Amino acid sequence: MSAMVPVMSHTPSDAPFAAPSRGVHGPFNLARHCLDQGADAAKPALLVAEGPKGRIVETWTYGEMRAAVARMAGGFAAYGLPRGARVLLRVGNTSQFPLLFFGAIAAGLAPIPTSTLLTQDEVDLILADSGARLVVSDGSGAMPSTTASAPGAAIVLGPSDIDRLGAATALDYADTDAEDLAFLVYTSGTSGRPKGVAHAQRVVLGRKPMREGWLGLAASDLLLHAGAFNWTYTLGAGLMDPWSVGATSIVHLGERPPEVWPDLLEATGATVFAAVPGLYRRILKYGAVTRRRFPSLRHGLTAGEALKPTLHRDWIKATGRPLYEALGMSEISTYVSSGPHVPTRPGSPGKPQAGRRVGVLPPDAAADAADQPLPQGEAGILAVHRSDPGLMLGYWGLPQETAAAMRGDWFLTGDLARFDADGYLWYEGRSDDQMNAFGYRVAPEEVERALADHPSVAEAAVVEVKSGEVSLITAFVVLNEGAAGDADALGHHVARHLAEYKRPRAYVFVPELPHTPSGKVLRRALRT
């Protein structure tokens, strides 16, 4: 039965975002673009696999998916919500997720995908910040409280309501504009509170350089993504991209320990696999991997954290298949990558994708020509031109923070980087992850790369840790199986690669590093 919970409404945010033209004008609906690209109605759009052997338990053709999304849109439209009203999704990694996500967009509403791992407090914050009018749950995650102190109320729909939505009369795609709000994703804000990233309908057009330059997707491909649909990596590479070219997306239900992935890749016939580097490392460690395994796989994709050169080398040696890395973020998704036409250069995520305008700006915003890209070889703040159709509309309800992320015609990613003479980008870390050593600023990624080259090191993270009155660069190290924890040996190793002020002053050997649900190392957890 439907229920009601209080929510907060962001009246100022309901107005259109101020943004320069991105060359996309007029009616455009993201759901229509993804589902109506001419793929044969009988062709599989989504395969749902289950169990350790990857048995296919659901097959959704393009015809079935289009019809189901149209019915879901009709169900949403029955609530009479205004264009752009937000719909908070508390839905797991099942076939219901794409039906609800694209159904809401088809109805002219703006879904908010969220992880089922969120706590009630986290869900309350997102609900209050977004002003969502509907909350849709399949029962797999925490729900918002009914005592949040905010005006208004959101209608909560449970599992039986989802079935009712899906049985409604079909509705044609809403005649939205390219600049209209399509969906919100929430990321960790610098204040410790969630921050909504608002994306327009046109965002899917900004993914074309990714599909061609990184994924190398064709209509014949079957793409298996290891992440959950609520994550922007999976949402884009696992759903929007395959459907935009008429390919097939594969989702797996249930537990997936690292040793089962070779079997899953074989059982599903996946031709492209997308995951974070940490999963590739665990597959190599625990899975039965040889060059004869998963013969259909053409290549793997990796994003979310830096791909260590040693892991890349070990994967190619074991499988004979390449890994293509990409650098991106929720605000713009991936914009730098290697790929079928850009050879991988170990230690670099690649080059700007074709058609992208990417530059490195002076770190000092007050410098002369601060909005003019620096020459190759000079390090600064990585930036993407605001004309990119994949760039966000802005941060929801945070106009000052949105403005602070812009400099002239550029969006500042907050990453520090430089380009080499061949156009490859070298990542120097996040500006807010920088450490201070004897008055010098040090990027943790630079130190971590040096540590990762040692044969005893499986994974490492470097942070600044307070010790009494001073702060020490401290390395937290996960060792390869059978390796001994020898701090002196690691110290001698990094001394060959780094200036003295960049070297760790302390080493802590740990069985594993803390990670976010999406696989990124959680450095802040190591500082405590």
Q: Rounded to whole angstroms, how far apart are CA atoms 134 and 382? A: 37
- Let me know if residue 90 belongs to a domain: yes
What is the phi/psi pair of residue 301, to 5°? -115, 145
pLDDT (0 to 100) of residue 500: 80
Residue 215 sits in the same domain as residue 288? yes
Q: Rounded to whole angstroms, how far apart are CA atoms 420 and 440? A: 23
Instruction: With H, G, I as helix, E, B as strand and everything else as coil, classify residue 9.
Output: coil
- Which helix (H) or strand (E) covers residue 277, if one does? helix 277-286
Residue 403 sits in the same domain as residue 441? no
Q: What is this structure's pTM? A: 0.83
Residue 339 sits in the same domain as residue 240? yes
- Let me know if residue 406 belongs to a domain: yes
What is the phi/psi pair of residue 262, to 5°? -60, -40
Structure-token pair, residue 394:
């802005």
- Let me know if residue 20 belongs to a domain: no
Residue 454 near residue 490 (C-beta atoms within 8 A): yes
CATH of the domain at 497: 3.30.300.30
pLDDT (0 to 100) of residue 470: 67
Q: Where are the alpha helices (DSSP H) in 306-393?
A: 309-319
Q: Which residues pair with 381 in a beta bridge?
A: 361, 416
User: Which of 361, 394, 425 represents a domain boundary (last residue)?
Assistant: 425
- Let me know if residue 73 belongs to a domain: yes
Residue 417 sits in the same domain as residue 443? no
- Let me know if residue 505 belongs to a domain: yes
Residue 65 near residue 73 (C-beta atoms within 8 A): no
Q: Rounded to whole angstroms, how far apart are CA atoms 138 and 116? A: 10
Report, as ranges of residue numbers, the positions in the chain whose pLDDT lies below 50: 1, 4-16, 18-21, 147-150, 192
Residue 255: which residues within 8 A CB-CB, separation 6 or more? none
pLDDT (0 to 100) of residue 521: 86
Domain holding 506, by residue range, is 434-526
Distances (CA, A) of 322 to 150, 159, 222, 426: 51, 41, 17, 20
Residue 54 sits in the same domain as residue 162? yes
pLDDT (0 to 100) of residue 395: 96
pLDDT (0 to 100) of residue 441: 61
Residue 465 near residue 515 (C-beta atoms within 8 A): no
Q: Rounded to whole angstroms, how far apart are CA atoms 6 and 9? A: 10
Residue 333 near residue 210 (C-beta atoms within 8 A): yes
- Let me know if residue 261 belongs to a domain: yes
User: Which of 405, 425, 445 represents a domain boundary (last residue)?
Assistant: 425
CATH of the domain at 155: 3.40.50.12780
pLDDT (0 to 100) of residue 365: 86
- Let me know if residue 21 belongs to a domain: no
Residue 54 sits in the same domain as residue 142? yes
Residue 229 sits in the same domain as residue 190? yes
User: Which of 397, 425, 453 represents a domain boundary (last residue)?
Assistant: 425
Strands 248-253, 44-50: pairing is parallel
- Let me know if residue 19 belongs to a domain: no
Express each pLDDT in 224-254 by its tens digit. Answer: 999 889 889 999 999 999 999 999 999 998 8
Instruction: With H, G, I as helix, E, B as strand and everything else as coil, classify residue 275.
Output: strand
Residue ranges of E strands in 15-115: 44-50, 55-61, 86-90, 110-113
Residue 460 sits in the same domain as residue 413? no
Q: Rounded to whole angstroms, how far apart are CA atoms 215 and 323? A: 10
Residue 382 sits in the same domain as residue 438? no
Residue 382 sits in the same domain as residue 482? no
Residue 55 DSSP symbol:
E
What is the phi/psi pair of residue 434, to 5°? -60, 145
Count of domains for the chain? 2
Residue 393 sits in the same domain as residue 514? no
Q: Rounded to whole angstroms, how far apart are CA atoms 86 and 89? A: 10
Cα angle 261, 346, 216 (rounded to 5 degrees) comes to 60
Compute the Cα dihedral for 332, 9, 169, 143 and give only its sign: positive
Structure-token pair, residue 123:
């869900």
Residue 420 sits in the same domain as residue 439? no
